[in-house]
Structure 1
Amino acid sequence: MSSPNADTPLDPAALRADFPILSQTIGDAPLVYLDSGATSQKPRAVVDAEVDFLLRANSAVHRGAHTLAAEATELYEDARATVAGFVGADEETLVWTAGATASLNLVAYAIGNATAGRGGAASAALALRAGDEIVVTEIEHHANLIPWQELAARTGAVLRHIPVHDDGTLDLDAAATLIGERTRVVAFPHVSNVLGIVNPVAELVALARAVGAVTVLDACQSVPNLPVDFAALGVDLAAFSGHKMLGPYGIGGLYGRREILDALPVFLTGGSMVTTVTQDEAEFLPAPQKFEAGTQPVSQTIGLAAAARYLDALGMDAVRDHERAIERRTMAALREIPGVRLLGDASGVDRVGIAAFDVAGVHAHDVGQFLDARGIAVRVGHHCAKPLHARFGLTASVRASASVFTTESDVDALIDALGDVRAYFGVDA
């Protein structure tokens, strides 16, 4: 959330020294990594933090009286405080999960449990009834679509979708019509993982609040690339992943306003999230611990905290400005290549460093393999957003996505290679 070095532009070429993987070659070509939207590379500081814990203080947390257990618990909760501060949250409002997919499933299944009568009077306010509506968008990652499909199927709720314009922006007029008195949940991405467009959070939150609906934000592509303050955004719940923000795999977060987390019934159950247990019933700890059953991902949380500190030291305003510069250079150059069609080529919108495109006459997978032969790593396929690709008449696209270490020369290498793709495959320009 904070940006201590906002006035100091990033030097991505210098930062590359922090990422040992970037020094390798692919065949004879230097690695150009443009797939950070799928998973980011990890700076040495993140790897070292996780390894140091495993070598020096490895122990289970919240369940031991010995020295290592006490130190592990302190490091674990310090990590929660660090990451919570990074996203504009309090410690009590950040739940550790296995990632954004786990966070979004937690919310959907917890609401389903409320519908089934679990959780008491506070949870009853979240229950769905047949004919209630869940509103998502046409640009969702599957992780913020399928859990709601399943919840609708289990409860009799109706799933509705905010459409997208041809330029990739959400149709807010349609949203105002769709979000009504039967709407109970509004779920949407902060940034599209395909289009890179920053969506109008304030407008969607206002529409949801006006009808008393709960808002759920997929923040996977915003937390690594923009200054993010969930409390200031006004969303009720938000999910993000560690591995997209320079952190480890297998760790992510669920932010929730305190009253919402308190009202949500438990989802996963077992050890570490209970106060008392008899043979017939159990009582649960308050949030966030009531959602953290089982053995905790301690080293991963410590690595994620190191990633948050790394980004915070760079300054998230500086990160955002770097992303904008890379995005503008990339989009402008792609527009000049014959046969390349950009997805979501809206003008006058805020974006992060994500560009998805189609090369006429050449399948996305073939484009990806051609680029890989030149050392350029991009994403190909539907990017877990099949309905969005269908909206644009495609089955797949190529996606280039940037990070703090992406340089102008990386962009130039991509553009130079793409200029040769159609000729290589014998497609007329």
Structure 2
Amino acid sequence: MPRTANIQLKLLLQAAGWGPTQFAAALRNVAAEQGLTLVVHLTTVRRWLEGTQPRPPLPALILECLSRRLDRRITAHEAGLTRAPAQLVDPAWEADPMRKLIHLAQTELDPHRRALLGAGVLTATALALPAQGQIPAAPDGPGHSGRRLAERDLERLRTMASVFAASADQHGGQHVRAALAAYLTHEVSPLLHRPARTQVHHGLRAATARLALLLGSMSADSGHHAVAQHYHQIAARLAADADDPTTLAIALRTMATHAHDLGRHTPAVVNLAERADRHARHAPPAVRAYTHVHLAVLNAHHNRHAAVNALVRAELLHAEDSAEPGPFSSYPVGALHYQRAQVFATLKDHTGALTALTTSLRLRTSAERLPAALTRARLAETHLRLGHLEPALTHWHAFLDAYPTLRSVRADQRLTAAVQHLRPHQRRAGVTDLLDRITELTSPPR
């Protein structure tokens, strides 16, 4: 049967001022940001305009590309992609966060549907907060029934958040992601429909927001950046509904960090970090240091003076911290120095970065196995950049000692980076042995 021309897509391309060739180039650029390599060219776009439906993940990439160009959210219906698989969840801030959370968590547990989670793309449009920074309140859920929700139920959720966070720090996000999804589906979801006093109900929303934040970070550490963005957004919505500015500040900071780690330093990302810092203004010193130091990291790309001032402020705030250890109550000093190193590295002060990383590694605890390994890898890269081959090899060997126990995309990326950094030096003493060890670690078993 003859195809029907996609007039909607044609009109959007006209509004964007793009011909098929320019659109194909823009799509390839957006895909590259997501770590994807697309074979899209002039004739590909012409086939779409003639009515051929693109296959996943192309629909999501097309919508993201057009949304950026036109500076507004473009839906699949508006682009004529009606036969493309609908987004698993609505990426708009207005969507019901509880419904999104439970739907996503259940999808994590289904091996067939879980593969679809990787079909989405990280969207720049979702980084923009609603007007005036007002995050809409979540809609009322179904009628409450069953045993009344009590404070002890919330304490159990807080305890489990610490357990899941500690496990991720030990072994990486991939290790425990499915377990946390199962906990949200089978243990937390039933609590959402129980009757409770307003204060307890808000406490439940805040505790659920923190679990969603953890699951988002685990998803990012599994390489599923689009679904991580959804979890972070859900957490922000729940924290706002719970009237918990501290958790909201942590959620917005996490969103900004995730975008930064993927190489985005746009005004929208800086705005997220600034909003996080404003929401944290009455939070404990550890949280204020946590949000402020990321302002330093982002400002280092744009304004050296602002970055240094933000870093000094974060260090002063951290010095005031006396909170009990916990994933949402304290900020490890080793993490603070790691971000100091990020600031210095961006400012091209590699000696300062080396000092900060050395301090970070020294202050890492035995519970921070993954952060310590990542710090080792960064130390090796920085030493090599400064011409210090021997200490670089020492740190890379220590990183490889920990690597087999980790299930983390971040660790995988540092291993790939190690090979790239070492190849120009492969004839030097000790480098061949290290490269052979990496090959042995990454080769499939016979």
The TM-score range, normalised by the shorter chain, is under 0.3
Give the helix-richer structure, 1 or 2: 2
**TM superposition score normalised by structure 1:** 0.24
Structure with the largest fraction of strand: 1
Using the size of structure 2 for normalisation, the TM-score is 0.23
